[in-house]
A and B are shown apart, each in its own frame.
Chain A
Amino acid sequence: MTKSIYCSGFGAIYSEGIFSKLTEKHWDDTQNDPESIRRDQVIDSPMPTFGKLNLPDKLAYCVSALALAGNQDCGGDRSGICIAVPYGSLTTDMFFMESVLCGLPGPAYFSATLPSSTIADIAINNKFKGPDRIFSGGDTPVSDSIQASFNLIQADKADTVLFLSVWAIDLKNRTRLSDAGLVPNSAFGALFSSRQSSVSSLKCSLDIRNNASLSDTRSEYDFCIRLTDALRKGNRAVIPFSHDTPENYFEIT
């Protein structure tokens, strides 16, 4: 039997600002990029380990805090994380290589040079002990990640899944890459569950008719923005994953 799936929280950190079910903040004049996000913009209490987070991990952590805000009854064995992180840990890999060249390889950098490191602090601090899926590239990692979130719940491997998508390359490192095609630093997240935890939880569904991939990272970024807009409004909406594949869509029902 197919379970109903609800979205009980969401988060978005991108050029337009910082958004969640409960808050909407705009960037300060001093902030020219989501890279500069501060702890106090997403988390109320002091967090000494915040500064240690490398950019992909920091954006993932912040957006997870936004998506989890106001949701008390998640965490534990039946809570998992599905993340799309197309750029992997490349930005941290670059800092690690610099430290190698200096003759003193940095342990803190190395421990963050895996796409799975990006969710480590989220899992630890929120006790998300269930199954994870980490999509570090591929044709449609965002779509894969949302599908995986739904599949894990339908297959009864989890009751709650935190979906995240993160694009993160430090500004300092962007100059070394061909900046032309790079997606801006950003992170998006949503908390999916088989339980309707509050009246404001939105019932959702996925329809994927066309398994072939006709998407690219830029259109997946656009999808995340459109999804955020729809979740902010909270009304019924059909959000295709890309304009080329309207038969694949996320729906707020």
Chain B
Amino acid sequence: MQKEIILRNPELICASGNAGQTCTALYNGISAVVPGPSFGAAVPHAPFHDTTLRSLDNITKALNFMPPADQSSLLFIYACAKGDLSALESYYHGNKDSHLEDALLETQAKRLPSLLGIKPKKTVVISSACASGAVAVDFAREQLMTGAFSDVVIFGYDVLCEFVVKGFNCLNALSSEPAKPFDKSRNGLTLGDGAAAAHLTLDIPKNGDIIICGCGTSNDANHRTGPSRTGEGLLRAIQSALTDSRLTPSDIGAVKCHGTATNYNDAMEAKALYSCFGDNIPPAISLKGAIGHMSGAGSLVEIILASSFLKKGLLPPTIGYTELGVDEPVKISGSVQEIDKKPMLCLAAGFGGQNAAVIIREQL
């Protein structure tokens, strides 16, 4: 049997809790979005139950990640948009003992391996805005397929803080109500806390293993923060992932959207999906109305959750959604949807025109 890229021991923590708790909440239509204020902004948000988890030391302990047994050829990837900004904020709020260097992802990446219980041969930091986790999966797949490394651990971490909340707020990007992905009355993001860790390796799959079939990335080359209006960049990422997986659109059984609930993103994403699937867009979901937009870490958290949905053969409802607000027939639903045990497409997009598509399947 052929070797595949297998996702092992994924762990995540978001506003709804760990993977199991989050799935339970999602299937029951329970949102983790709570009213604000959030760092001075009058907007709802999706914080960790325990906000002391907003530290690399605490979150890595809480994740309970099982490191790979064999670490002789291990690559570690830290994937995030902004990571831990506490030292930056602390410095600017008058604590001159804070070291600004601690706000560098590079500095955080040096501390993380021992916090996660790993001794990698090499550490890489990938920061592609809100697509970071997905791009890291693409990069990991390349490294494993070429044999550069035999194991990869990816860790993602992006949390609510003054910098991020006030930043998105001054871009007018935050909704005053919980986010409503693809909905007619959607009007912006709801931010959330998120962290995840996963082990990827090239091995002969066992039944039930989640396999990374292929990935694709692209750049919209349109605007610093807004996506291309036509969705052509995301479409190319999807097509690249299909090619990488040796699949066609009809092989895809479900779509985990990026679905940020901004006017432009969801409209763009719908166009990309329609261009790819035509009138046969598979059942689709966005998680951001339930657990918030977790920036770069979010794309890894959501891939892990997608793998759980795939194993169950059911997509949870898209919380926050009631009425379709895009022109294309995207199969978003406010109810649970059954999905075929076919490969699943996971999408992510980010500032700087970043688009990423990751296709996963379950070994049956």
Residues on A facing B (Cβ under 8 Å): 77, 80-81, 86-88, 90, 93-94, 96-98, 100-101, 105-107, 110-121, 123-124, 126-141, 144, 148, 151, 155, 157, 176-178, 208, 211-213, 217
Task: List 24 contacting pairs A-B, 8 Å CB cutoff, sorted by A.
Answer: A87-B104, A100-B92, A100-B163, A113-B163, A114-B127, A114-B352, A120-B353, A124-B222, A128-B219, A131-B240, A132-B135, A133-B126, A133-B128, A134-B135, A136-B106, A136-B125, A136-B126, A137-B104, A141-B124, A141-B125, A157-B217, A211-B121, A211-B122, A213-B121
Asked if B69 is at the interface of the complex by the 8 Å CB criterion, the answer is no
Q: Is the CB of B128 within 8 A of A137?
A: no
Interface SS of chain B: mixed
Q: Which one, B101, B233, B351, contacts A177 given CB within 8 A?
A: B101
CB distance from A56 to the nearest CB of B (A): 12
Question: Which single residue of chain A is at the shortest CB-CB distance from B233?
Answer: A129
Task: Known A106-B170, A116-B354; judge A151-B104 contact (CB<8 A).
Answer: no
* Complex-state Cα separation, A127 to B126, whole angstroms: 22
Q: Is the CB of B217 within 8 A of A110?
A: no
Question: Which single residue of chain B is at the shortest CB-CB distance from A177?
Answer: B100
Q: Is the CB of B124 within 8 A of A129?
A: no
* Residue from A80, A100, A127 whose CB has the most chain B CB atoms within 10 Å: A100
* Complex-state Cα separation, A126 to B350, whole angstroms: 19
* Complex-state Cα separation, A144 to B233, whole angstroms: 25
Asked if B185 is at the interface of the complex by the 8 Å CB criterion, the answer is no
Q: Is the CB of A77 within 8 A of B236?
A: yes
Residues of chain B within 8 A of A98, CB atoms compared = 92
Q: Which of B22-30, B141-149, B322-330 contacts A (4 or more CB under 8 A)?
A: B141-149
Residues on B facing A (Cβ under 8 Å): 73, 75, 78, 81-82, 85, 88-89, 91-93, 99-101, 103-107, 109, 121-129, 135, 138-139, 142, 146, 148-149, 162-163, 166-171, 216-225, 233, 236, 240, 350-354
* Complex-state Cα separation, A132 to B220, whole angstroms: 11
Q: Is the CB of A107 within 8 A of B103?
A: no
Task: Known A124-B223, A131-B218, A137-B109; judge A212-B121 contact (CB<8 A).
Answer: yes
CB distance from B268 to the nearest CB of A (A): 15
Q: Is the CB of A131 within 8 A of B125?
A: no
Residues of chain B within 8 A of A132, CB atoms compared = 128, 135, 217, 219, 352, 354
Q: Which one, A120, A138, A157, A176, contacts B351 given CB within 8 A?
A: A120
Q: Is the CB of B92 within 8 A of A119?
A: no
Q: Which one, B85, B225, B350, B354, contacts A111 given CB within 8 A?
A: B225
Q: Is the CB of A211 within 8 A of B99?
A: no
Question: Which single residue of chain B is at the shortest CB-CB distance from A125?
Answer: B221
Q: Which one, A96, A115, A134, contacts B163 given CB within 8 A?
A: A96
* Complex-state Cα separation, A51 to B142, whole angstroms: 38
Q: Is the CB of A88 within 8 A of B104?
A: yes
CB distance from A223 to the nearest CB of B (A): 17
Residues of chain A within 8 A of B124, CB atoms compared = 135, 138-139, 141, 144
Residues of chain B within 8 A of A93, CB atoms compared = 85, 88, 103, 163
Residues of chain A within 8 A of B85, CB atoms compared = 93
Q: Is the CB of A137 within 8 A of B122?
A: no
Question: Which single residue of chain B is at the shortest CB-CB distance from A97?
Answer: B92
Q: Which one, B109, B167, B216, B221, contacts A113 given CB within 8 A?
A: B167
* Complex-state Cα separation, A211 to B127, whole angstroms: 21
